[in-house]
Amino acid sequence: MSSALPRRPTMRDVALAAGTSFKTVSRVVNGEPAVSGELLARIQLAIDELGYRPDDRARRLRQGGTQTGVIGFALVDVANPFFSALLRGIEEVAVKHGYLVLAGSTDANPARENQLIDAFVARRVDGFIVVSSGTENSTLRAELLRGTPVVFLDLEPELRSSDTVRSDHLGGARLATSHLISHGHRDIAFFGDDDRVFSATLRAEGYRGALRDAGVTPRPDRVVHGRHSAPEWRAIIRDHLSTGKPPTAIVTAQNFITIGAAHALRDLGVQHTVAQVGFDDIDLADVVEPGITVIAQDPPRLGRVAAERLFARIAGTAGKPRRRILTVPLIERGSGEIPPPRSRRSP
């Protein structure tokens, strides 16, 4: 069964077929002009007949090392549309530079992240973009110290002296919350990603800040953090909304949470009475009733900006590490403009 793949032809094979030296073949392959017409034709023919394709790895190895024409991207979950849109943005810039991108999901698991970045380094990518808090990863830390081109995307490392591109998590959550407050709400719950994740912490901070600005004391029991699937969030939020005196509005700080909440509100039949603002835009968010008001990140743009930064770093023209924070707009669609019931309206 195990039929070994025939060895790929090398320059030597081509040279043999064309009756010349492999160095001359190299000249033809690289388009160097100094080859006579007759020989050139003979070599070209041999290349075509043997199906010769130069080995990029060997070429680059000899050329002196660093450049492999590949960048890495360690993200949380490529099946999450937010991350796949980041990847698409990165890819667009990579193509322009003639680069390929290695992508891998970490599921926010530090061990898997370490392993992935190890693999990137072993394969000598020219640089990588990573969605990571960077705290627990020894390989990453070592590469940063060494000066390997690295750009942090979406999240931000504790050690600040690195290139970072992300949305204004705090400002976005503050905007979401103050939007609800401006529509009369004072009892607002917050559902966010695992609080070990930097962006989730910042978003919770923004939520609290907006409450405080409005003279409302944040209640710890109104803040729920965790890493769950949309169906899990559906159950969690349904429970929260059907226990004791429920909040009159909710902030859902991530796309899967927003989806779970959309289900939960309908499970309870309160989609027209409990207000919701979500983080991240979602397909059909403007088709459901009411439409879901969201803070809309622009993930393809985030990806492009991060990639441009990385390629500048690779080219050595990036200068000092920079932190780029993109503002996020709020899109009104209905769910965020629902007022609280009369009895619970603020003055």
Partner DNA sequence: CTGAAAGCGCTTACAG
Residues near a copy of itself (CB under 8 A):
1-8, 51, 53-58, 60-61, 65-66, 68-70, 77-79, 81, 83-85, 87-88, 91, 95, 100-105, 119-124, 142, 145-149, 230, 259, 262-263, 266, 282-289, 300, 315-319
**Residue 46: strand, helix, or coil:** helix
Least separation in angstroms between residue 107's CB and DNA is: 30
Least separation in angstroms between residue 23's CB and DNA is: 4
Tell me: does residue 125 bind DNA (CB under 7 A): no
Least separation in angstroms between residue 196's CB and a copy of itself is: 23
**Residue 131: strand, helix, or coil:** coil
Which strand (E) or helix (H) includes residue 171?
helix 169-182
Tell me: does residue 217 bind DNA (CB under 7 A): no
Tell me: does residue 51 bind DNA (CB under 7 A): no
User: Side chain identity at 34, as an amino acid letter?
Assistant: A
CA distances in angstroms from 259 to 256, 285, 289, 295, 347, listed in the order given: 5, 9, 13, 14, 32
Interacting partner of 63 out of a copy of itself, DNA, none (Cβ under 5 to 8 A depending on kind): DNA
Least separation in angstroms between residue 208's CB and a copy of itself is: 29
Cβ 99 vs Cβ 155: under 8 Å: no
The CA-based dihedral angle spanning residues 9, 10, 12, 17, taken in that order and rounded to the nearest 10 degrees: 30
Nearer residue to DNA within complex by CB, 35 or 325: 35
Tell me: does residue 61 bind DNA (CB under 7 A): yes
DSSP 8-state class, residue 316: T
DSSP 8-state class, residue 151: E
Could you give the CA distance from residue 257 to residue 228 in angstroms, rounded to a whole number? 8
Interacting partner of 34 out of a copy of itself, DNA, none (Cβ under 5 to 8 A depending on kind): DNA
Q: Which stretch binds DNA (CB under 7 A): 18-26, 191-199, 256-264, 280-288?
A: 18-26
Could you give the CA distance from residue 267 to residue 130 in angstroms, rounded to a whole number? 37
Interface residues toward DNA, by CB under 7 A: 7-8, 10-12, 20-24, 26-27, 29-30, 33-36, 39-40, 54-55, 58-59, 61-65
